[in-house]
A and B are shown apart, each in its own frame.
Chain A
Amino acid sequence: GQSLEQPSEVTAVEGAIVQINCTYQTSGFYGLSWYQQHDGGAPTFLSYNALDGLEETGRFSSFLSRSDSYGYLLLQELQMKDSASYFCAAASSNAGKSTFGDGTTLTVKP
């Protein structure tokens, strides 16, 4: 089967750095994606890692270690607007199907 684990909640202050971890068990693993979802909104794509290493996109970076079945999303210079739910999603060889983790609620405090 497919399963992903990520923390349910994380709290940090404005300007800080926060890391959201994700471990996965996915047969036919292709890559790991991250999505952001604000309350009442739709998930929006942040990043995708197919290979080991770090991908950087502005204040957000994502890391993957295939050997450890582990990845993380790093958010730097946190802003209040970063308060949202963050989902990791593992893509499998099953027609590109992605299984989502249960989400991490990030609360950024002043």
Chain B
Amino acid sequence: DTAVSQTPKYLVTQMGNDKSIKCEQNLGHDTMYWYKQDSKKFLKIMFSYNNKELIINETVPNRFSPKSPDKAHLNLHINSLELGDSAVYFCASSSGPEGYTFGSGTRLTVV
């Protein structure tokens, strides 16, 4: 019954590694997003996809590469992880501007 589910919930990894976070929504929404929330709780948009097409890329390093195989899935792959990548990453979906449904978040810790 989970509306937006993302895995894993926790991810601890060493600097330089490559990791992926998966996200799936069963709400039938056309648009999906990745947001990053840092230690000060600031929520910043990273990417937005609409029907599998990238529509927003907010000055994110090339090490971050989103992939949307279909409109229900939006995955995030991160290469060469750095300490500064430690944050909580939220996937979200929406059918319009009026409100997002967020996943439960992935807490990434780079050591």
User: Residues of A at under 8 Å CB distance from B?
Assistant: 30-31, 33, 35, 37, 41-45, 48, 50, 85, 87, 89, 91-92, 94-100, 102-103
Across the interface, do B97 and A42 meet the contact criterion of CB distance under 8 Å?
A: no
Extra 12 A-B pairs, beta carbons < 8 Å, given A41-B105, A42-B102, A43-B100: A33-B99, A37-B41, A42-B105, A43-B90, A43-B102, A50-B98, A96-B31, A96-B97, A97-B56, A100-B42, A100-B43, A102-B41
Across the interface, do B104 and A42 meet the contact criterion of CB distance under 8 Å?
A: yes
Interface residues on B, range: 20 to 34
Across the interface, do B100 and A45 meet the contact criterion of CB distance under 8 Å?
A: yes
Number of A-B residue pairs, CB cutoff 8 Å, is 64
Chain B: minimal CB distance from A20 (Å): 15
Which residue, of B35, B44, B55, B100, has the highest number of chain A Cβ atoms within 10 A? B100
Across the interface, do A85 and B50 meet the contact criterion of CB distance under 8 Å?
A: no
Instruction: Indicate which residue in A33, A41, A45, A102 contacts B42 across the interface (CB closer than 8 Å).
Output: A102
Which residues of chain B in 53-111 are interfacial with respect to chain A, using CB atoms and an 8 Å cutoff? 55-56, 90, 94, 96-105
Instruction: Indicate which residue in A30, A31, A45, A85 contacts B41 across the interface (CB closer than 8 Å).
Output: A85
Across the interface, do B42 and A91 meet the contact criterion of CB distance under 8 Å?
A: no
* A31-B96 Cα distance, complex, nearest whole Å: 11
